[in-house]
């Protein structure tokens, strides 16, 4: 099984969680990663720069119709939903979902629709329920699901909501999430 995309959703406490995960991925990590981190719509484009200091893979904020390339990390821009289409991303200014735009559910559900079982969905720290429906859909379509161990999360609400709603495949600490992603994505290349 080769994976086409890893989708990560996080909210409160996400920056420090993402630093650990992205910082533990090797430069040859083969699968593209798309991330929704809830942030204020006025927030500047500094998130990618902040994270780039810790990551070996190139990080960029998505622009509409960006091609999805292996070994790249894509961030949803502030105040836009990030959607997956075949081979590229789309941005939308539709209404917020779960009070959020970008919404984790929107990213996860569109990824599940396009890539089905070739998606890995990851839910990290956060203070709301966003991501639960999307993770459900990834699981339903045969994709794999990973959730941060709630006791290690800065805000356990989002991981706990995901775990109580979805029979997730793995509940792991941040470092273990990174190594699990490496295991899954590197073994899928052979």
Per-position DSSP letters for 15-55, written without gaps between them: HHHHHHHHHTS-TT--S-EEEEE---TT--THHHHHHHTT-
Which ranges constitute the DSSP H helices of 99-173?
104-115, 132-140, 157-165
Helix axes 132-140, 104-115, angle to 10 degrees: 10
Active-site entry in 2, 11, 43, 88: 11
Mean pLDDT of 1-16: 94
Q: Among this protein's residues, is 38 annotated catalytic?
A: yes
pTM of the model: 0.96
Q: Among this protein's residues, is 40 annotated catalytic?
A: no
Active-site entry in 98, 103, 130, 155: 130
Active-site entry in 38, 48, 98, 155: 38
Give the E-state strand segments of 56-143 in sequence order: 59-61, 73-75, 81-85, 88-92, 119-123
Q: Among this protein's residues, is 79 annotated catalytic?
A: no
**Would you tell me how many other CB atoms lie within 10 Å of the CB of residue 164?**
9
Summarised one tens digit per residue, pLDDT across range 109-130 is: 999 999 999 999 999 999 999 9
Question: Residue 62 is inside which H or E element, if any?
Answer: none
Summarised one tens digit per residue, pLDDT across range 159-184 is: 999 999 999 999 999 999 999 999 99
């Amino acid at each position: 099984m080769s994976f086409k995309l890893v989708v990560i959703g996080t909210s409160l406490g996400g920056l420090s969680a993402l630093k650990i995960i992205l910082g533990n991925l090797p430069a040859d990590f083969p699968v593209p990663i798309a991330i929704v981190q809830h942030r204020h719509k006025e927030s500047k484009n500094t998130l990618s720069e902040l994270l780039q200091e810790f990551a070996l893979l190139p990080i960029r904020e998505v622009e509409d119709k960006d091609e999805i390339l292996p070994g790249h990390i894509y961030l949803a821009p502030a105040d836009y939903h990030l959607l997956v289409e075949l081979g590229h991303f789309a941005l939308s200014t539709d209404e917020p979902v779960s009070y959020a735009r970008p919404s984790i559910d929107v990213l996860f559900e569109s990824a599940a629709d396009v890539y089905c079982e070739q998606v890995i969905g990851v839910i990290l720290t956060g203070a709301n329920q966003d991501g639960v429906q999307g993770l459900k859909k990834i699981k339903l379509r045969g994709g794999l699901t990973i959730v941060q161990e709630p006791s290690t999360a800065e805000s356990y609400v989002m991981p706990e909501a995901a775990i109580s709603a979805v029979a997730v495949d793995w509940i792991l600490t941040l470092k273990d999430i990174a190594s699990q992603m490496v295991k899954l994505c590197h073994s899928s290349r052979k």
